[in-house]
Chains A and B, each alone.
Chain A
Amino acid sequence: DGGITQSPKYLFRKEGQNVTLSCEQNLNHDAMYWYRQDPGQGLRLIYYSQIVNDFQKGDIAEGYSVSREKKESFPLTVTSAQKNPTAFYLCASSRSTGGWDEQYFGPGTRLTVT
């Protein structure tokens, strides 16, 4: 079955540590995205990638980094510079970045930093 996998489902880290969230898709999509969701808020875009070896900052990129070395993988690193990293993180992909193209979402990773 085609889809997007995110692992792990729950992640706990100590403050000051970097942590990497995994996102893999087997839909052969060119575009991939990372969103952050906080309680009572909609999704906010962290980073997106239109193609391998290329990515762009979204609205809240500070304290985050990404890589896109393979078409199917788009890992997100939450660095110690991110002031409030505890949140629910959603990865998505779409066939292209065209406006009509549906974004397919993964199941998400809940990150808790203490």
Chain B
Amino acid sequence: AQTVTQSQPEMSVQEAETVTLSCTYDTSESDYYLFWYKQPPSRQMILVIRQEAYKQQNATENRFSVNFQKAAKSFSLKISDSQLGDAAMYFCAYRFQGGSEKLVFGKGTKLTVNP
């Protein structure tokens, strides 16, 4: 069964600095998708960024970028120029390309941004 591990229950960063959140996953599949979701205090989940496993190029969305290491099964999220609004729970998620429709979530990392 696929599993997703986020080894950092909590992280903190100073405003305007850069932080990296870790995620590793376990799968025997070669085609899949990886996601980072943000859950702010309002508790509504918001997609931050996603990556297709067959693409070697790391995905980037404005201040958010990933470091995808397929062989190591690692999918870290880098937040540059951190803002107070980035404070939230961040969840890493995996989804198999075919045969399974569900997202498998990690337990999350709580990010605090200090002014």
Contact = CB atoms under 8 A, between A and B. Distances in A.
Chain B's interface size range is: 20 to 34
Nearest to B96: A99
B27 to A, nearest CB: 12
B78 interface: no
Nearest to B52: A100
A54 to B, nearest CB: 12
Interface residues of A, number: 25
Contacts of A59: 102
A90 interface: yes
Q: Which of B44, B46, B108 has the most CB of A within 10 A?
A: B44
A59 to B, nearest CB: 7
6 contacts: A43-B45, A58-B102, A99-B97, A102-B50, A105-B45, A105-B46
Interface of B: 4, 9, 31-33, 42-47, 50, 52, 91, 93, 95-98, 101-103, 105-108
